[in-house]
Structure 1
Amino acid sequence: GEEYFDPDLDDGEGGVSSLLHFRANIRAAGLEGTVIPALSPSQVVARLPIVPPALVFIDGGHSMPAALADWQNWGARVMAGGLLAIHDVFPNPADGGRPPHEIYKLALHSGLFKEEKAVKSLRVLRRL
């Protein structure tokens, strides 16, 4: 299981689900006709032929294999000028899960992205 998650997201079956919160936020923002959620494991969706996304939000697993899979499957797919947002980036390991910070560093060192903005534990990178 995941070590770090908001207890309000407990799905009652031993898992974590933010889908209800996500859908409510998309609806409240008036983005239901723009945002297309992918409700499958990252590796499954990444195999589909899709138009390069303008925004990829990585708020996935906090294990190193899960975070690396998100980066490897999605980092290079962001369209030029698009955004890669990575949640739960904590430079200090005592503050939270480390793998999102590691893929954030990979993205910066890849030469594909530059940091656009940092807000609390969210890092937003722009594709060059």
Structure 2
Amino acid sequence: MSEFILEGQRFNTDDLSEVDLSTTVAYRYTEKEVGRLKRRIGMFSTARNAYVVRLSALLPEPVDEAQLSEAKVIRVNNRAYPIASLSQDALNHFSSVKECDKHIQRLDVDLAIAETALMGYGQAVKSAVLG
């Protein structure tokens, strides 16, 4: 006898059809994928925060934006810094922050898709086991 838990309820898979059993497997896989995506978002968020801390320590004094051309400025915490005044290390950390932001955005989209699939599989499995 094989069981699985859906929304806090235990269900027996022995009586499921091949198609319903396949849907149950897809549900379990997707559930694990949601957890994996959440852990990856956490990992990239932690890395991003570490880069921001290090970057903050490397930044010079901010300047008045009215004195700067937009093309020669980066923004950190709503403050403008002339690119020419940043060290290579600061530029590398800034680039790493932006790269982490891109990964987090992509993972957020993947997570939304996986959670939507999980709801769909959950409804299908629930319908199969409850009749």
Query: For the superposition of Structure 1 and Structure 2, which TM-score range results when normalised by the shorter chain?
Result: under 0.3
| Structure having greater relative contact order (Cα 8 Å, sep ≥ 6) | 2
TM-score under structure 2 length normalisation: 0.21
Q: Kindly name which structure, 1 or 2, has the bigger radius of gyration based on alpha carbons.
A: 2
Looking at secondary structure, tell me which structure has more strand per residue.
1
Name whichever structure is richer in helix by fraction: 2
